[in-house]
Structure 1
Amino acid sequence: MPRCFRAQLTIAKELSSLIAAKIVDSHWFNNPILRLLDDDGTASLANGVWEYTGRVRQTVLDAIATYSLPSANFIFTHAGVEGDERSARTHGQFVEAARQCDAVFVPVRLLGAEEELARRISSLARRERFKSINVDTSRSRSQNALVLDVPHQHALTLDVTFTSPLESAAAIRDHVVSRSAAECL
């Protein structure tokens, strides 16, 4: 039975090797649109931009639901925010795609300490992927926003502040395996 869940890209890469899954990174949806903009990675983007990335995301999810093999596993990366309509809509798109594939959906909520997140945000490699590198915005977001927490029977919350990507991926793999086994009973 296929499994779908969300994770940070670094952890997703480790996890994909542990469970033979295809990574569907959020920037697959975002970058075709973000590449068209004159953005330095520090300024806020107009809200309308995200409507276009949502359309790209839906097209990819429709293709997965229509053409993926029943045994295929997918890892979706997404940094959702509690109380944000766009985050909830994105999560809903993932849930619906999993339902259409008759897949076990496992939402993984990754938490981390503010200073560690700020350290990771400042990486210039992020800018090459059209990700924000604004440390002040990251700190403000950490202080004022909560990571999306969706009620779901298979949900996992994991603090990754002091764990390596491989350790985090192994913990997620173990949870996914246990949830998938329970679902098959």
Structure 2
Amino acid sequence: MRVFVLLMGFPGVGKLTIANELSTLVSAKVIDNHWFNNPIFRLLDDDGMAPLPNGISEYTGRIRQVVLDAIVAYSPPSASFIFTQALVEGNEGSLRTFQQIADAARQCSAPLIPIRLHCDEDELARRVSTPTRREHLKSIDVRASRARSNKAQVFNPQHAFASDLDVSSKLAETSAAAVQQHVIRVIAGDFGPLPTTGVATLS
């Protein structure tokens, strides 16, 4: 059964690393958020520290929609996908992004399985400061990471197939295996038909 898995978490939490591990377990293609961001980010003098210009998400959102439209139009009926997105609770842009992906899943008749990845402040700051992140035009702002950890929350889709996973002390392989088990349970019908509320917790 095809599935759309959405890994959500703050920058540095390990979304792409976990997605790459998970892709081999559930035979899915990874669609990283920087696929949409970097064509625009490369046009900017972005150092990974300064805030991005206001309105830039409108441009990355258009690219995201084109990719999703292509998935709906051309992906094989058996194709599964893993999306990575840094979505924040109470942010209008994050809500629009979630709705874009949810709509594509609906059009593909695939269950959407949102996974909220969490990490403690110190570990997240350590991961954000990794120099190799700049090679992929990712944020390396430790101060912003700590502020985000203290003030914001990962987007909560209020979806019955959504799950929370703390990855602070987990290897990517362990996290991916936990997500895989949740996906198996969703496919098996353990959570029933698609409702609108409820969050499970992964161990």
Residue identity matched to 2:122: E
Match of 2:200 in 1: none
Give the match's secondary structure for 1:76.
Answer: strand
Report whether the alignment pairs 1:179 with 2:186.
yes
The gaps in structure 1 that reach 5 residues or longer are none
Corresponding letter in the other structure for 2:28: A
**Structure 1 stretches of at least 4 aligned residues deviating more than 3 Å after TM superposition:** none
**Distance across 1 between alignment mates of 2:6 and 2:136:** 18
Q: CA separation of 1:49/1:96 partners in 2, compared to 1, >3 Å: closer, same or farther?
A: same
1:151-171 CA-to-partner distances (Å, cap 9, x unmatched) read 111111100111110000000
2:70 paired with 1:63: yes
- 2:102 aligns to what? 95
TM-score (norm 2): 0.89
Q: Which has the higher helix share?
A: 1
SS of residue paired to 2:67: helix
Deviation of 1:67 (Å): 0.5
Tell me what 2:44 maps to: 37
Alpha-carbon RMSD across the aligned residues, in angstroms, is 1.2
Give the count of matched residue pairs: 185
Give the structure 1 partner of residue 33 of structure 2.
26
Determine the C-alpha separation between the residues in 1 that align with 2:19 and 2:146. 23
Unaligned runs of 5+ in 2: 8-14, 194-203
Matched, 1:132 2:139: yes
Give aligned-pair identity as a percent.
Answer: 55
Aligned CA distance change for structure 1 residues 163 and 51 (closer, same or farther; 3 Å): same
User: 1:47 Cα shift?
Assistant: 2.1
Counterpart of 2:134 in structure 1: which amino acid?
A: R
Distance 2:157 2:92 in 1: 13
Alpha-carbon offset, residue 146 of structure 1: 0.5
Give the corresponding residue for 1:3. Answer: 3
1:133-163 per-position Cα deviation (integer Å, ceiling 9, x unaligned): 0000000011000011111111111001111
Shift of 1:48: 1.2
In structure 2, the residue matched to 1:83 is 90
CA separation in 1, counterparts of 2:179 and 2:103? Answer: 21
Task: Give the residue type in structure 2 aligned to 1:142.
Answer: S
Partner Cα separation in structure 1 for residue 52 and residue 136 of structure 2: 15
